[in-house]
Structure 1
Amino acid sequence: MANQISPMAYVHPDAKIGDNNIIGPFCYIDADVIIGDNNKMQNSVTLNQGTRMGSNNEIFPGASISTKPQDLKYRGEATICEIGDNNSIRESVTISRGTASKGKTKVGSNNLLMENMHIAHDCVIGNYCIIGNSTKFAGEVVVDDFAIISAECLFHQFTHIGGYVMIQGGSRTSQDIPPYVIAGKEPIRFAGLNLVGLRRRGFSNETIASIREAYNKIYAKGILKEGIQEVKDTMEVTKEIQYIIDFIETAQRGILR
């Protein structure tokens, strides 16, 4: 089906637009933009150069995608901002494109990005994530699949957020948050397993018990490396346990405790 483009929208002649997209009034679509099919851009949406968007996304008023990075090292190099499919990107969300560091900012599919949140240059956001109002990610943050991050959280550059986490509103961290946990309180710290989230995602009681046992062993040790070794020596290393081990062993900014 043909695209529905408001006469009050601007679409650069070099932009590549798929089929059956709705582009509302006062939208601005720059050159070097490629989008798929069945996307809906409400009024006043900006797709800056470097936007690469899939299909079936809904973008709400005031959102700006592939903005110029807020990084003084950026020198105008050609980079992109890649958005997957089936995302809901709410009012005034801003997502920067990449820099020479990685060349790409990436948001996966089936995410809900709530009003006024910001994703900085070279971040990688997974799939099926929910990110709350006014939460801000500095550059090169990685968020794994199925993370739930509440409103007004702040994340230091290069931090890694594990999958299936629940993070309390207003939290701030400069450390990595491992998978399957609740992180909260003030200052932010490990606050148990995300039991509700794990059950909703179909984790069995046996799997949840195994994850709990692993974290009990890991956090019981003063040195995380010793806790990881005990897990390897005494537990069946399922894919869930291997994910925890790999996450902690590769952490660059230390693990939340």
Structure 2
Amino acid sequence: MSDLIHPTAIIAEGAVLHPSVSVGPYSVIGPHVQVGEGSRIGPHCVIDGHTRIGRNNQVFQFSSLGAQPQDKKYAGEVTYLEIGDGNTIREFCTFNTGTAQDGGITRIGNDNWIMAYVHIAHDCQLGNHTILANNATLAGHVHVGDWVILGGLSGVHQFTHIGAHAMAGFSSHISQDIPPFMMVDGNPLAVRGFNVEGLRRRGFSAERIRAVKAMHKLLYRQGLTLQAAIAALPAIAEEIPDAREDVALMQDFLATATRGIAR
């Protein structure tokens, strides 16, 4: 056994760990688990199921990754948990595998900062560069876009989609889709503005931010119906060509929203 794996850790036959992987005391790793180069598994972790963890992840103590989904329809089918590269997963996190009723995969992207006690349920799709603060909870089938920030103690209803660059404040109750760039909080949930500071930090130009502000105004400040606001979005892309991709992101999100958007 590698010097990087503590002698009290239990690694099942069949598990595939890169030689550079470290595993702390009393952790248990199941037979269908793969862990990539440079990843570190802390003490007292359980990693089970058909779970694939990429490179340079750090999993802190007492986390449970890859357990079967908390879904009464689950009947023992082979389903998966996939975790990308460069993620930080803090204490007491629980990520479950997918279900046959969806794609069968719970997927975590790259460079996510996931704080203590976060739960990511079956079939969730988490993008890249997100921050999930302590006790954020995602029910099944939730989709979270890139650069999203979820405040502590926030709860996300099953099948809800959260668009890229959105931000939810502390203890938000999220049961409707949140369009890209928007900033929300509360119970009932309300849109408070758009995530201007986050966009600045990510290098958005003044013109692109102006376009996002215009989209926010159409959706939330002019008293338009949703259909009328959607119809007016292309004019923003025409006026501000640098923001064409941002407008397209909003259009695509609104076209596929299934739970109604927070308004």
Structure 2 CA distance for aligned equivalents of residues 246 and 57 of structure 1: 31
Structure 1 CA distance for aligned equivalents of residues 186 and 197 of structure 2: 18
Query: In the alignment, which residue of structure 2 is the partner of 1:212?
Result: 213
Which sits farther off after the overlay, 236-245 or 25-34? 236-245
- The match for 1:243 among 229, 246, 249 is 249
- The match for 2:227 among 212, 216, 225 is 225
Instruction: List runs of 5+ in structure 1 lacking aligned partners.
Output: none
Structure 2 CA distance for aligned equivalents of residues 234 and 33 of structure 1: 47
Give the partner amino acid of 1:148.
I
Give the partner amino acid of 1:232.
P
- State the secondary structure of the residue aligned to 1:127: coil
- State the secondary structure of the residue aligned to 1:241: helix
Asked if the contact 1:3–1:20 (Cα under 8 Å) also holds between the matched residues in 2, the reply is: no
Structure 2 CA distance for aligned equivalents of residues 144 and 185 of structure 1: 20
Give the partner amino acid of 2:230.
I
**Residue 65 (1) aligns with residue 71 (2):** no
- State the secondary structure of the residue aligned to 2:219: helix
Structure 1 CA distance for aligned equivalents of residues 123 and 3 of structure 2: 31
Q: Per the alignment, do residues 14 and 234 of structure 1 end up closer, same or farther by CA in structure 2, a change over 3 Å counting?
A: closer
Q: Per the alignment, do residues 3 and 49 of structure 1 end up closer, same or farther by CA in structure 2, a change over 3 Å counting?
A: farther
Deviation at 1:202, TM superposition (A): 0.3
- State the secondary structure of the residue aligned to 1:215: helix
Deviation at 1:187, TM superposition (A): 2.2
- State the secondary structure of the residue aligned to 1:4: coil
Give the partner amino acid of 2:189.
I
Which sits farther off after the overlay, 2-11 or 163-172? 2-11
Asked if the contact 1:87–1:109 (Cα under 8 Å) also holds between the matched residues in 2, the reply is: yes
Q: Per the alignment, do residues 179 and 234 of structure 1 end up closer, same or farther by CA in structure 2, a change over 3 Å counting?
A: closer
After superposition, give the CA deviation of every residue in 1:11-39 in whole Å (9 maximum; x if it has no partner): 00111111211101100000111111111
Give the partner amino acid of 1:44.
H
Give the partner amino acid of 1:108.
G
Structure 1 CA distance for aligned equivalents of residues 3 and 262 of structure 2: 47
Asked if the contact 1:3–1:21 (Cα under 8 Å) also holds between the matched residues in 2, the reply is: no
Instruction: List runs of 5+ in structure 2 lacking aligned partners.
Output: none
**Residue 12 (1) aligns with residue 12 (2):** yes
Query: In the alignment, which residue of structure 2 is the partner of 1:252?
Result: 258
Query: In the alignment, which residue of structure 1 is the partner of 2:139?
Result: 138
Query: In the alignment, which residue of structure 1 is the partner of 2:204?
Result: 203
Query: In the alignment, which residue of structure 1 is the partner of 2:166?
Result: 165
Structure 1 CA distance for aligned equivalents of residues 236 and 62 of structure 2: 53
- State the secondary structure of the residue aligned to 1:190: strand
Q: Per the alignment, do residues 234 and 244 of structure 1 end up closer, same or farther by CA in structure 2, a change over 3 Å counting?
A: closer
| Identical-pair percentage | 38
Q: Per the alignment, do residues 239 and 68 of structure 1 end up closer, same or farther by CA in structure 2, a change over 3 Å counting?
A: same
Asked if the contact 1:56–1:86 (Cα under 8 Å) also holds between the matched residues in 2, the reply is: yes
Deviation at 1:49, TM superposition (A): 1.6
Asked if the contact 2:173–2:185 (Cα under 8 Å) also holds between the matched residues in 1, the reply is: no
Which sits farther off after the overlay, 179-188 or 144-153? 179-188
Which sits farther off after the overlay, 39-48 or 224-233? 224-233
Give the partner amino acid of 1:19.
P
TM-score (norm 1): 0.96
Counterpart mapping for 1:138-157 below 5 A: 138-157=139-158
TM-score (norm 2): 0.94
Structure 1 CA distance for aligned equivalents of residues 173 and 15 of structure 2: 38
Give the partner amino acid of 1:250.
T
Number of aligned residues: 256
Deviation at 1:221, TM superposition (A): 4.0
Query: What is the root-mean-square deviation of aligned Cα atoms in Å?
Result: 1.2
Q: Per the alignment, do residues 81 and 3 of structure 1 end up closer, same or farther by CA in structure 2, a change over 3 Å counting?
A: farther
Q: Per the alignment, do residues 108 and 3 of structure 1 end up closer, same or farther by CA in structure 2, a change over 3 Å counting?
A: farther
Deviation at 1:251, TM superposition (A): 0.2
Deviation at 1:185, TM superposition (A): 3.6
Structure 2 CA distance for aligned equivalents of residues 3 and 118 of structure 1: 31
Which sits farther off after the overlay, 239-248 or 212-221? 212-221
